[in-house]
Amino acid sequence: MNRNTFYTEFLKRASLITVFLFFMGLQGKGQANDNFVIPDTLSPTNYYTQLSLGLMSPIYRDFATSPLYYRGFGLYGSSAWLKHSELKERVFKMDVGFSTTSAVFPESDFINLNGSATWVNLNLSYQRLWKLKSISNIKNNVKVGGVVVISQNVRLNNSLYNNALGLENVSNAMASAQLMRDISRTETKQLNLLIFKPILKPVKRDVRFQINVGILNFNYRPGYAYSYDSELVGTETNPFSWALSNYKWSMNGWRLNTQIEYFTYLPNGNARSLAYVWDAAHAPGKFEAFQMASHRIQYTLYFNRKKR
């Protein structure tokens, strides 16, 4: 990475993180009203239905069709079912990202190309975590465990002509570590912002940092020539099997996922959070590699379904 690229990347990342921290601050101030108290409805074990919406910025590159990075912006949505207690956690999640991207290449002094591609990223994941009592304390809850993630990409890019449709599956069994820190405000506090002097009430809050590292990394990628004249059996030919002809599973590459999430709890036991999520994967396949990463800011509502 040259120096200019490094600064550009640093500034982009700093901007995203600043937006994240800004909204964190807004959330904290949003609690400063008389109706907000530390919830007494939370049970030792809580069952949540989780709904998220977010903005994402993906980047990907498929060496089989192009040496160029594709970047863009898109929308993200997810739904999850979460069982959470101090001792363990279980999450089943489905999510989808839909982005418009374009290739990044040097500008021409003759005439520049225009064109965009569509990137749809579908994920299913199941995660289990257990508390590490030896390094946890009343403020910091450390959990470890694993997550299985199945990601399916569907890419449409007319610039690639007969390879306009790109499909790949990246599936990983990942080791997970999570630190959840209780940052609740236990006493009323008054801020001194010159003209404004808001009073902040006690509130239950957590901040969570999680990292997932791929241990078993699988990918389902096209064969050597990418597109194939596969068997054609009259009008009975199945277009789906035709499209996936000569795809092969490989076990190689890596995947890394980190996320930081800021929670506030409502008096009724529900919660909301703001998270910054980064996900990156490298899938070499058998012939040519696929690489993808995404930066995401998401807002999540946790509906407490059942208290025990």
User: Of 68 and 87, which CB lies nearer to other proteins in the complex structure?
Assistant: 68
* Rounded CA separation 278/280 (Å): 7
* Rounded CA separation 238/254 (Å): 32
Site for other proteins in 82-121 (CB under 8 A): 103-106, 108-114
Does 152 contact other proteins by CB under 8 A? no
Which runs of consecutive H residues, i.e. helices, occur in 104-156? none
Q: Which stretch binds other proteins (CB under 8 A): 46-54, 64-72, 138-146, 148-156?
A: 64-72
87 phi and psi angles, rounded to 5 deg: -90, -30
User: Of 19 and 37, which CB lies nearer to other proteins in the complex structure?
Assistant: 19
User: Of 67 and 138, which CB lies nearer to other proteins in the complex structure?
Assistant: 67
* Rounded CA separation 54/140 (Å): 27
Q: Half-sphere exposure of 179 toward its Cβ, with a 13 Å CA cutoff?
A: 11
Residue 101 · residue 72 · CB < 8 Å: yes
Does 130 contact other proteins by CB under 8 A? no
Does 35 contact other proteins by CB under 8 A? no
Does 23 contact other proteins by CB under 8 A? no
Does 21 contact other proteins by CB under 8 A? yes
Does 147 contact other proteins by CB under 8 A? no
Among 17, 19, 148, 177, binds other proteins (CB under 8 A): 17
CA distances from 137 to 132, 140, 179 (A): 10, 5, 11
Does 143 contact other proteins by CB under 8 A? no
Does 193 contact other proteins by CB under 8 A? no
For the bound state, the minimum distance from the C-beta of residue 66 to other proteins, rounded and expressed in Å, comes to: 4
What is the sign, positive or negative, of the torsion defined by CA atoms of 248, 252, 256, 257?
A: positive
